[in-house]
Structure formats: structure tokens, C-alpha cells
Chains A and B, each alone.
Chain A
């Protein structure tokens, strides 16, 4: 008897599992044309600070989609999480530019219909079809926020106030420096070298030939004895600054905001050499189990209010130009501070994260690809 009942339950569950996506999203040319009923759940891989109760709780209340978020410390980890277990464990990922193409070409994410997102038309032009999430006019995700990687320092311990990245490569703060534990950090070294050692001829910090790459690695090797710790999660760096173990380091504005809220005397800046940065995209897994909730989430996080809230919480710039006014209302002057609705010139001055590949456009395919970046980083950390 028990066995029969169990079989019934299984059959019913299977039927529901098969029917729900079909019933929810009506498709034409593979893309959904409307958003169906929510599945009650949404599993996200996100950067720390991207799923705050401030905007997640009202979302759950409005849609009934319970949000489960897993924080990842690097783009590599995000890619791995989206691929583990057949790729159906998580519905969406807040991928940066150095992960998004890997996910698209690895067929881990699926195209989305941006017409279902009313706020899409209000995005800054540069983020409507950026090359890191749109291939041949097909949108593989919705742009979210962007911003620069900053130089963070303790205002009482670091004097005079730094203006250059040289402060994290100089012996003055030996044993008090912290940088991200992430191969993409090689680009930060390359960016610094592109301004300080012009003879190397670095034009793009993600497109490095062997000589340029070796120079960046040599700089990072010399930096290693100065490092207190390579931080994995943002909270690690926050601890280091709070407890006085680090006084200067490479950071995201999120750390600065959290530390200032905890009354730690810190400041951040974009040094004169410029900065690397990120432009994040919410991407939908090819095997997403909760696509309707995912579309509702994209709709929700692109609204001016949530865009502004997230921008202020994390310290980044919203993709939606309508969010600028809301930002100023929540925190006067913040829209200008974060370059909300920025000009193309400012946007292009930031070297956004992208996956290094062998083919860097000169037809010679002699650039170092990301596998080599990863290996070099592991060797460096030793």
C-alpha cells in the first residue's frame, strides 16, 4: 500500500515539474512572451551585498518568491557554482564581465526577453547591449550595476593620503596591505604598469603578451612580502581593516561603506592611474527551475527604487537612469558622487573586467589566456 502511494506522489510531482514551466512561460522563438505565476522560490549566486533584506523582503512579499542566495568570492567561483550539479542548482547569477562570456559560450545561461523588463528602456545606452552580455543582438541577461575597484585606506594610519596605486606596491606599509585573492588582480598590476612603465606598451590590462604578463607577475611577486592576507570574501577585508591588521588595500566601495558605518576611519578613491571595474549582469541559468520568479526578480531589481537602494548600499552605479533622482532623494548628492547616468566618456575610462583570451585582436593569438592567469596566480600565492 505504502509503495503504491509513494508512486502516486512521485508521478504527481513529476507531472507538476513538467507542467509548471510550460504553463508559466508561453514561448515564441524560444523566448518567453509573458511572465507566468511564480514558483515560490528563487536560488541566486550573487556578490556579497547584492541580496539585502531591504529589497529582497518586499520582493518576496510582492511575488511570493522566497530568495535563497549564495555569495561567491570571485568570478571563477560563480562560474563553477553555475556548472556544478548539472547547472540546475541555481536559477540566476550576478555575473561580472569576466564570467559572463564564459557562461554564455559554456551554454550555462540562456537568452532572455528584455521586452518583459519595463525599465530596460531607461538603461544608459552603454549597458543596453554591452558586448559582455549581448552576442549578435541576443541578450543573455540584464545589466544591473557597475563601478570601479577602488583603493581603500585607513585615514589615521596612511599619511599623506595616497593618490596612486603605488602605495600598495611600496615598502612603506609592509605587512599592512591586502588585495583580492583573485587572478583578475593581475589586471590591476598591468593597469598600474601601463601608466608607470610605458615602454611595455600595455594598452588593455586584459590583453597581455608574454613580456607584459611577466612584468605584471614580477610586480605582484615583489608585492607579496608586503601582503598581510589575500582576501577571499569582502567580509574578510572588512575584518582586516577593523582590527588594524591592514591599513591599505584594493577594495570595492561596499567595504568602504560598511567600514564607515562601523565608524572605522577609512576613505577610498580612484587613483590617478585609473581603475579596473565591474559591470554586472543578472543571468538566467539554462536549467533554471524557477524562471518566472527569475523574470520577476529582473523586473524588480531594475526598478528605479531598488536600483538606487542597491547602488547606495554597495556603492556602485545603477544601470537605470531613472534611479539617479531616487538616489539623490535617499542621499543628497549621491547621484553625482557615483556618476549616475554617466557619460560614455567616463564609462569608457574604467577598464571593466573581462575574460582574458589568447586572441587579443592583433591576429597573432599570442596573448595570455585565462588558464595561464589562473596558473600564474596559484604559483604566485604558493
Chain B
């Protein structure tokens, strides 16, 4: 404000005229050539995506074909398929890959089953105030560190933990969930639940009420309406949520490390120990291509089912 009172302001504005003309010409150009505008807008993120993300993926894939000198652990740039052969031949790595995919699927299924009624209540039953409250309740755990929440679960499930203490008070026997794959499944289902609730809620909220009324008018009962109207329309939301829960579980290594037992290694744990303990980056890269392929397959299927329209 103070600047506009300055008399010099008016003087400097006049030589600005040609500048304004140039600006108009530029905007005219962009109006005539829509593609140019799009290109200009997208260039920086696309460049970053291409340079940072894709090139590192390519580098990863290339290094998977190299090998490591076992004594000095230097990377040797000799092209070979040894890492992939080890992956296929060794039953241990097959078990680890299947375990990772299996638990990721179980977590996704659990979250879908838990999230659906919750999201349905939020979208169609709760009052405006109740909805706000539920939103906060869903998002609040995300404010605390993921690590803290895993450690809290460890305290709950431990042999001398909170859960056994409560069970004993009720006269029930101890549970032995701590440091098992069940604990890993339980903790994953808990930490990724908000990522399933939100897209399902989004999909359910978008179903017009008139569709449901029409279904009832045409004589469909509550269950038939749910099965033939609500569920198909909400399915893309569930699939979208499942992309989050599935991919987050697939790539994680912290929960199996902290809460897993003697047979709880995930793909991520092998990658972590290959890099951090045996310094075998090529093998880690080779194993890391497995979740990449699984996710590519998963996303292709999800696209077919219309998940991207719900995101």
C-alpha cells in the first residue's frame, strides 16, 4: 500500500507497457496452442519424475544383472543372470516372496471388510457433526509416528503385555500372538486401515440417493439394493483403497522386523539386509523387481475394474 503512494510508481509503470504487450502476446499464443500450455505446466514435474524416479528405477534394474565380489564386496560389472537364478532356485526366497504377497493380500482383505461398514456409516448414516468426528478419529492415528504405533502393538501383544493382563483378569488363558506372522498381519491391518476407509467413503458418498430410492421403488429389498446398486458403485473405491494397503504392505520391512518372529522375513527385509549387512546391492535390486512386477500386475487388474475413476 505504501508503495502505491510513491509518485515514482506511476513513472516506472509507463516503460512497463511493452512488457504488458508481450505478456498479452504470450497468453494469446498459449490460447491458440493449448498443448503448449499443458507442456509448460507439466514439464517440471514430468522432468523430475523422469530424472529422479524412472532413471533410478532403470539404474536399479541394470544393477540387478551385476554381481558382487564375495570377499571385498565390491560391485563387479559383469553381466549375468546369477541373482535371478538364485531367486528362482532357492526355496527360501520363494517362500519369502509368497509370504509377503500372502500377508499383503490378507491385510487388504481384512481392511476392506473392516472399512466398508465404517465408511458406509460415515457416508450415509452419520450426521454432519458425527461425520467430522469420525474423520478425525480415522486420521488421528496418522499424526503419530508409524514406528511408535508398531511399538505400542508390541507392548499390547507381549507375553506380559496389556492384552494378556486383561485376558487373565477375565479368567481367560494367555494369547501367544507376539512375534508371529499373525501379529504382523494384525499390525499391518491396523496401520493401513485409514488408507482403505477414505477411498471407500469417497465412492459411497458419490452414490446419488435417488439410485437407492429407484431401486426400492422397483421392488428390490435392502439386501438386493446393496448387492446390485451400492456394492458395484462402491467397488472402484475398494479397489483404490486396496492399492494402498497392498502396496504399502508389500514394500514394508519395519513391522516384520520389529513384530515378526523366527519366520517373518519380508522381501523388504531381505533387501534391507542385502544392502545394509552383506553389501550386496545387485541381489537386493534383483529381489526388489519382484514387488515391482507384482504391483504392475495388480495395477493392471485394478485399472480394468475401474479403480482409477474412484481416486
> A residues near B, CB below 8 A?
74, 76-77, 79-80, 83-84, 102, 105-106, 175, 224-225, 227-230, 232, 239-240, 243-245, 369-371, 374, 378-382
Contacts of B176 in A (CB 8 A): 175
| 8 A Cβ contacts from B109-160 to A | 154, 158-160
B90, B91, B96, B262: most-surrounded residue (chain A CB, <10 A)? B262
B161 touches A227 (CB 8 A): no
A80-B73, A244-B158, A245-B158 are contacts. A382–B95 as well, Cβ < 8 Å?
yes
Interface-side segment among B9-17, B230-238, B272-280, B290-298: B272-280
B71 touches A83 (CB 8 A): no
Name the contact of A381 in the complex, choosing from B160, B178, B263, B276 (C-beta under 8 A). B263
B72 touches A106 (CB 8 A): yes
Contacts of A102 in B (CB 8 A): 71
Closest-by-CB residue of B relative to A355 is: B71
A382 touches B276 (CB 8 A): no
Interface of chain B, main secondary structure: loop
Interface of chain A, main secondary structure: helix
In the docked arrangement, what's the CA distance between A382 and B95, Å? 7
Contacts of A232 in B (CB 8 A): 257
Contacts of A374 in B (CB 8 A): 278
Contacts of A229 in B (CB 8 A): 179, 260-262
| B70 contacts A by Cβ under 8 Å | yes
A228-B262, A243-B160, A244-B159 are contacts. A80–B278 as well, Cβ < 8 Å?
yes
* 22 residue pairs from A and B, CB less than 8 Å apart: A76-B278, A79-B73, A80-B279, A83-B279, A84-B279, A105-B71, A224-B263, A225-B262, A228-B261, A229-B179, A230-B262, A232-B257, A243-B160, A243-B178, A244-B159, A244-B160, A245-B159, A245-B178, A378-B270, A381-B262, A381-B263, A381-B265
Least CB distance, A294 to chain B, in whole angstroms: 23
> B residues near A, CB below 8 A?
70-73, 90-92, 95-96, 154, 158-161, 176, 178-179, 257, 260-263, 265, 270, 273, 276-279
Extra contacts besides A80-B279, A229-B262, A382-B96 (6): CB < 8 Å: A77-B276, A102-B71, A243-B158, A244-B158, A244-B160, A382-B263
Least CB distance, B83 to chain A, in whole angstroms: 13
Least CB distance, A373 to chain B, in whole angstroms: 11
Least CB distance, B211 to chain A, in whole angstroms: 50
A-B CB proximity, top 4 nearest: A244-B159, A243-B158, A227-B262, A371-B70
B92 touches A224 (CB 8 A): no
A80 touches B276 (CB 8 A): yes
Name the contact of A243 in the complex, choosing from B95, B161, B257, B262 (C-beta under 8 A). B161
A74 touches B71 (CB 8 A): no
A379 touches B178 (CB 8 A): no
Least CB distance, B220 to chain A, in whole angstroms: 51
In the docked arrangement, what's the CA distance between A35 and B262, Å? 48
Least CB distance, A21 to chain B, in whole angstroms: 25
Name the contact of B277 in the complex, choosing from A74, A175, A245, A371 (C-beta under 8 A). A74
Contacts of A370 in B (CB 8 A): 70
B96, B260, B261, B273: most-surrounded residue (chain A CB, <10 A)? B273
Least CB distance, B278 to chain A, in whole angstroms: 6
A224 touches B159 (CB 8 A): no
In the docked arrangement, what's the CA distance between A230 and B96, Å? 16
A77 touches B277 (CB 8 A): yes
Contacts of B279 in A (CB 8 A): 79-80, 83-84
Contacts of A230 in B (CB 8 A): 262
Contacts of A243 in B (CB 8 A): 158-161, 178
Contacts of B257 in A (CB 8 A): 232
In the docked arrangement, what's the CA distance between A228 and B262, Å? 6
A379 touches B263 (CB 8 A): no
In the docked arrangement, what's the CA distance between A80 and B278, Å? 6
Closest-by-CB residue of A relative to B174 is: A244
Contacts of A382 in B (CB 8 A): 91-92, 95-96, 263, 265
Contacts of B158 in A (CB 8 A): 243-245
B161 touches A80 (CB 8 A): no
Closest-by-CB residue of B relative to A370 is: B70
Contacts of A83 in B (CB 8 A): 73, 279
Closest-by-CB residue of B relative to A382 is: B92
Least CB distance, B188 to chain A, in whole angstroms: 18
Contacts of B91 in A (CB 8 A): 379, 382
Closest-by-CB residue of B relative to A357 is: B71
Least CB distance, B98 to chain A, in whole angstroms: 11
In the docked arrangement, what's the CA distance between A243 and B161, Å? 7
In the docked arrangement, what's the CA distance between A369 and B71, Å? 10
Contacts of A228 in B (CB 8 A): 179, 261-262
Contacts of B278 in A (CB 8 A): 76, 80, 374
Closest-by-CB residue of A relative to B161 is: A243
Least CB distance, B181 to chain A, in whole angstroms: 12
In the docked arrangement, what's the CA distance between A381 and B277, Å? 15
Least CB distance, A80 to chain B, in whole angstroms: 4
Contacts of A240 in B (CB 8 A): 179
B91, B95, B278: most-surrounded residue (chain A CB, <10 A)? B278
In the docked arrangement, what's the CA distance between A229 and B159, Å? 13
In the docked arrangement, what's the CA distance between A367 and B158, Å? 42
Closest-by-CB residue of A relative to B270 is: A378
Closest-by-CB residue of A relative to B68 is: A371
In the docked arrangement, what's the CA distance between A85 and B32, Å? 52
Least CB distance, A72 to chain B, in whole angstroms: 9
In the docked arrangement, what's the CA distance between A275 and B84, Å? 39
Least CB distance, A226 to chain B, in whole angstroms: 8
Least CB distance, B182 to chain A, in whole angstroms: 13
Least CB distance, B158 to chain A, in whole angstroms: 4
In the docked arrangement, what's the CA distance between A74 and B277, Å? 8
In the docked arrangement, what's the CA distance between A357 and B107, Å? 44
In the docked arrangement, what's the CA distance between A247 and B196, Å? 39
Contacts of B92 in A (CB 8 A): 378-382
Closest-by-CB residue of B relative to A369 is: B70
